[in-house]
């Protein structure tokens, strides 16, 4: 009895000193910034002169800020290109993978290697590949005699960045969908075939409903990603042309570190996080279905 009690005390001491270290670190590098985030969002400040509480003025200003709405519109514009493209293509990739038996690992690696490309390096590569005098335009000029201003025309620039990000994420999202497909028992398809179901019926009545969790996962990941985009437009277009590729992250960055307005930037960060959650919740509500494979 006594030994057990002593062991318990020793466990408690060890446990608390190890997790105590974690808690102290977290208090400094997570808790402290967290509190500051809230304080800053309610303040006007320029890092140097004394801070001034202005309560919700930042939030009120934000909803009247033309730039905020511009970026808001840009973000949804980007989603309109990006999400159907990335979801459709990664679904195709997953379905293709499911059908092939040979070289499967090669295909997976070929697509997944894009996912480990460095943000800076791949932005530079696509900037050069899609440049007016770059290889891609060299090709279209030789075949169709046209030059496409990928990054310098307002609508195209958003599409071009969506294409880049799609290139990067198809492998990852495709694998998520692929493992969803793998979980569907073959017997379901066989039973459906006996009942005379065609290809379309099988796809829409069995495949799509049963990979619903994977689809929701891909949607949630790509939505969160959309709100976090920074490197690509920052390096390639600088937010242009005509501010059409300006993202929320760029707005937070320039507000905090170029316009020296950390209060407003923190307000922006909070609103962007809430928007991102809102989109995720809405998507789950609209798309998520209970799935059970018996």
Partner 1 sequence: MKKVPTIILYVFLFAASILWIYPYVWMLLSSFKPTNEIYSGFLPSQFTLDNYRFILEAADKMERPFIQALGNSIFISVTVTLGVLVSSALVGFALSRLNFKGKNAIFNFIIFQMIFPGFLFIVPLYVLIKNLGLIDTRTALILPSLVSAWGVFMFTQSFRAVPNEYLEAARMDGANDLWIITKVLVPLTSSTVSIVGLFTFIGIWDNFMWPLIVVSDYSKMPLSVLLASFNMQYGSYLGPVLAGSVLQTMPMVLIFLVFRKYFLQGISMSLK
List 33, 185, 209, 278, residue binding partner 1 (CB under 8 A): 33
List 6, 27, 29, 185, residue binding partner 1 (CB under 8 A): 29
- Binding of partner 1 at residue 150 (CB under 8 A)? no
- Binding of partner 1 at residue 166 (CB under 8 A)? no
- Binding of partner 1 at residue 272 (CB under 8 A)? yes
List 46, 118, 140, 147, residue binding partner 1 (CB under 8 A): 118
What is the footprint of partner 1 within residues 193-222 (CB under 8 A)? 198-200, 214, 217
| Binding flags for partner 1, 231-250, as an x/- string (CB under 8 A) | x---x-------------x-
- Binding of partner 1 at residue 138 (CB under 8 A)? yes
- Binding of partner 1 at residue 114 (CB under 8 A)? yes
CB 18, min distance to partner 1, A: 4
CB 60, min distance to partner 1, A: 19
CB 287, min distance to partner 1, A: 17
- Binding range to partner 1, per CB under 8 A, among 76-84, 144-152, 192-200, 204-212: 192-200
- Map tokens 């990664």 to a residue: 90
CB 74, min distance to partner 1, A: 17
- Binding of partner 1 at residue 224 (CB under 8 A)? yes
What's the full length of the chain, in residues? Answer: 294
């Amino acid at each position: 009895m006594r030994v057990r009690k002593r062991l318990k005390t020793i466990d408690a001491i060890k446990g608390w000193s190890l997790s105590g270290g974690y808690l102290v670190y977290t208090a400094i590098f997570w808790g402290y910034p967290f509190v500051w985030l809230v304080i800053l969002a309610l303040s006007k400040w320029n890092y140097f002169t004394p801070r001034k509480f202005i309560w919700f003025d930042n939030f009120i200003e934000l909803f009247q800020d033309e730039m905020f709405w511009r970026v808001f519109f840009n973000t949804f514009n980007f989603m309109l290109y990006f999400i159907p493209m990335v979801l459709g293509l990664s679904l195709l990739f997953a379905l293709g993978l499911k059908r092939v038996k040979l070289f499967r690992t090669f295909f997976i690696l070929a697509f997944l290697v894009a996912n480990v490309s460095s943000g800076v390096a791949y932005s530079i590569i696509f900037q050069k590949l899609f440049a007016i005098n770059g290889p891609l335009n060299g090709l279209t000029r030789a075949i169709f005699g046209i030059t496409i201003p990928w990054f310098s025309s307002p609508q195209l620039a958003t599409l071009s960045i969506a294409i880049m990000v799609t290139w990067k994420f198809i492998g990852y999202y495709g694998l998520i969908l692929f493992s969803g497909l793998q979980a569907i028992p073959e017997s379901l398809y066989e039973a459906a075939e006996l009942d005379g179901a065609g290809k379309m019926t099988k796809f829409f009545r069995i495949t799509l409903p049963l990979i619903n969790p994977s689809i929701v996962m891909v949607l949630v990941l790509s939505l969160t990603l959309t709100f976090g985009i920074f490197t690509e437009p920052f390096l390639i277009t600088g937010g242009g042309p005509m501010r059409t590729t300006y993202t929320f992250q760029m707005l937070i960055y320039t507000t905090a570190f170029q316009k020296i307005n950390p209060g407003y930037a923190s307000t922006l960060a909070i609103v962007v996080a809430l928007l991102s959650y809102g989109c995720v919740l809405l998507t789950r509500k609209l798309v998520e279905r209970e799935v059970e494979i018996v």
